[in-house]
A and B are shown apart, each in its own frame.
Chain A
Amino acid sequence: GAGVSQSPRYKVAKRGQDVALRCDPISGHVSLFWYQQALGQGPEFLTYFQNEAQLDKSGLPSDRFFAERPEGSVSTLKIQRTQQEDSAVYLCASSLGRAEQYFGPGTRLTVT
């Protein structure tokens, strides 16, 4: 079956623009996670959904970051008024409840 997919794979935004990053989890996976990975570092947790409920958003770095999963499947991570420090790879992962997480290929965001 298909794995986790993310789009776009690459995004270049001018500082101040809004961006939306999409994640399609593995079908049937209840849990969905977003991570941010800076160059040369490990992924860092941003937020977690169980079905459509956002149960943990403690990792979101500012109120410019917003995530949603309205129907409990596809999720979107939105970043408003992008800043240069937002440049990173954004990873999405899904899992069957409290089990191993399966990651997508990530979206590389470059803010110029």
Chain B
Amino acid sequence: DAKTTQPPSMDCAEGRAANLPCNHSTISGNEYVYWYRQIHSQGPQYIIHGLKNNETNEMASLIITEDRKSSTLILPHATLRDTAVYYCIVPRPENYGQNFVFGPGTRLSVLP
């Protein structure tokens, strides 16, 4: 996998935007960026993914830099339920199983 680097932890005030950065400087041209989150005692939850264009869905927005070496996941109005570990993953497209390599992620704490 393209190595990803994320800050170990972040705090965000409830109702404010949470911006979670991820560096993936060795990403290849055909590799996607995926974001997952894991709330305590639950399985990882898919959030969003993208290749080069910015993406938005009902959960979040994904901003990918033009050189694709970094991205930011944006939760526009964080709630207490968004407290979780957030994982940025770049799977290897040539990997037959497309197995995702989860790093330590960013532990986001949304504070009241």
Contact = CB atoms under 8 A, between A and B. Distances in A.
Interface of B: 34, 42-46, 49, 85, 87, 93, 95-105
Nearest to A103: B43
Nearest to B97: A48
A105 B46 contact: no
B interface majority secondary structure:
loop
A43 B104 CA distance: 9
Contacts, number: 55
A interface majority secondary structure:
strand
Given A42-B102, A42-B103, A56 B43 contact: no
Interface of A: 4, 31, 33, 35, 41-45, 48, 50, 55-56, 59, 91, 93, 95, 98, 100-106
Contacts of B49: 100
Contacts of B100: 43, 45, 101
Given A42-B105, A43-B102, A103 B44 contact: yes
B43 A44 contact: no
Contacts of B95: 56
A55 B46 CA distance: 23
A11 B85 CA distance: 24
